[in-house]
Amino acid sequence: MKAGIDAGGTLIKIAYLENHQMHYKKFSIEELDTAISWLKLVAPSVTVALTGGKSHIIQKKYFPRGVIIPEFQATCDGARLFLLEENKKIENPFLLVNIGTGTSWHVVNGDTYERILGSGVGGGTFTGLGTILTEEEDFHQLTILANEGEKGNVDLLVRDIYEMAEPPIDGNLTAANFAKGRNVKHTDSDRMASLTNMIAETVVLLTLQAGAIHRINNVIYIGSTLVGNQSLKKNLELYTGMFGLTSRFLQNGEFCGAAGACFSV
């Protein structure tokens, strides 16, 4: 058996291959000991490849013979594997947008890749600022709140500015995030909907600029922040399409780094 471990800032993601079948498991970074104990239990003689920001820590403590794969290489290799696995055809080159704790942009062209951009706006923003806004710390509960909320109760929308007049652009677009502040009544769900929308807008605007510079129209979104986060996925798809780009989501996209590392050994 062989396994790939993607040790990021928030999660430990494991992909392991057994009898030509790939399996996936993830743990919180605070559960590192539990994650490694679980892996050694199900695969006592496993060969391990590591990637991610905390890979050196895991190598030193648990797998001194483990191979470390560069994070961006593992992520892009994993995305190519999943495209084949899910039978998703996409023209090269394409933009790979990884929304993890932060967000990274890669140009993938065949077997080559290049990281072109990074942003601190991502999953860490969703959970960290989400907790500040709602006092809810659980990621899944935050996604539920976001799915139930109404951003227009917190954001100043284009239609709010034009009121009775016909706006020159879609009136549902955001004129200013969180601009209504304390002036109107809103709920935790509304605040999470507004936060999710702000993250989506930021990611898509940077994606649009990257696509224009590199003349790329195809985008693949991956990352653990998308898991169960229907509001974020909906907004990403909406805004990406609005600007004329084509977006796709990979079913196991959060495990791209772990899968790419696994298949490197």
Written as one string, the DSSP assignment of the chain is -EEEEEE-SSEEEEEEEETTEEEEEEEEGGGHHHHHHHHHHH-TT-EEEEESTTHHHHHHHT-TTPEE--HHHHHHHHHHHHHHHTT---PSSEEEEEESSSEEEEEEETTEEEEEEEES-SHHHHHHHHHHHHS---HHHHHHHHHH--GGGTSEEHHHHHTTSPPSS-TTSEEETTTTTTSS---HHHHHHHHHHHHHHHHHHHHHHHHHHHT--EEEEESGGGTT-HHHHHHHHHHHHHTT-EEEE-TTGGGHHHHHHHTT-
Catalytic residue list contains 31: no
pLDDT at 20: 86
Mean pLDDT of the chain: 95
Please tell me the distance from the alpha carbon of residue 263 to that of residue 2, in angstroms, as a whole number: 8
pLDDT at 214: 97
- CATH homologous superfamily of 2-88+255-262 equals ATPase, nucleotide binding domain (3.30.420.40)
pLDDT at 165: 86
pLDDT at 62: 96
pLDDT at 183: 83
Tens place of pLDDT for every residue, the chain, 265 residues? 899 999 988 899 999 988 889 999 999 999 999 999 999 999 888 999 999 999 999 999 999 999 999 999 999 999 999 999 998 888 999 999 999 999 999 999 999 999 999 999 999 999 999 999 999 999 999 999 999 999 999 999 999 999 878 899 889 999 999 999 988 999 999 999 999 999 999 999 999 999 999 999 999 999 999 999 999 999 999 999 999 999 999 999 999 999 999 998 8
**119-249: which CATH number, 3.30.420.40, 3.40.470.10, 3.30.70.890, 1.10.150.120?**
3.30.420.40
pLDDT at 3: 97
pTM of this structure: 0.95
Of how many residues is the chain composed? 265
pLDDT at 18: 87
Preceding omega of 168 cis (within 30 degrees of 0): no
pLDDT at 182: 84
Q: Which of 18, 30, 31, 71 is catalytic?
A: 71
Residue intervals of the chain classified under CATH 3.30.420.40 are 2-88+255-262, 119-249
